[in-house]
Amino acid sequence: MAKEPDLKDLFLDENLLIELARRELKGRLPPDQLPAQPSTLVASGKRSKLARETEGRGWTARDLAEQIGVPAAEAHALIRGGQKITPELARRLGNVFATSSEYWLSDEE
């Protein structure tokens, strides 16, 4: 009888996904718009406001990307804290989450 695969074997590591996204987007985006290097992501374990909001709604980075009109890799970087929220993104997030843009531009709580 064949052994069933462990579920964790079926999913890619988050750092690997980020690296794959960087490779895919390299040459198509300016370097400052590429997803953050895995080593530069917030390592404190504290989730960002955006991570809490999206997870609370059961959204993926792709869902957020569709809502705010950005590539999925950029949405993923925003959720993980690897990309700064610009005033324009704050406006879009405010529209999607019914909050002020200032909420998204303020420091983490």
Residue 84 is assigned to a structural domain of this protein: yes
Tell me, what's the pLDDT at 94? 93
Looking at residue 62, its amino acid is: R
- Does residue 86 sit in helix, strand or coil? coil
Backbone angles phi, psi at 11, to 5 degrees: -115, 145
Instruction: Single out the residue of 77, 37, 31 nearest to residue 54, CA to CA.
Output: 77
CATH number of the domain where residue 48 is located: 1.10.260.40
Q: Is residue 4 part of a domain?
A: no
CA–CA separation, 34 vs 28, rounded Å? 9
The two structure tokens encoding residue 70? 């950005």
pLDDT of 80 = 83
pLDDT band for position 90 (cuts 50, 70, 90): very high
pLDDT, tens digit, 9 for 90 and up, residues 19-61: 777 777 777 777 666 666 554 444 444 568 888 888 888 988 8
Share the mean pLDDT of the chain. 76
pLDDT given for residue 44 in this prediction: 42
Is residue 8 in a domain? Answer: no
Asked if residue 109 has pLDDT above 90, the reply is no
Give the count of beta carbons closer than 10 Å to the beta carbon of residue 52.
12
Instruction: Give pLDDT, residue 4.
Output: 59
Read off the tokens for 82.
């690897």
Task: Answer whether residue 100 is part of any domain.
Answer: yes
Domain of 90, in residue numbers: 13-105
> Greatest CA span in the chain, whole angstroms?
58
Domain count, the chain: 1
**Does 50 reside within a domain?**
yes
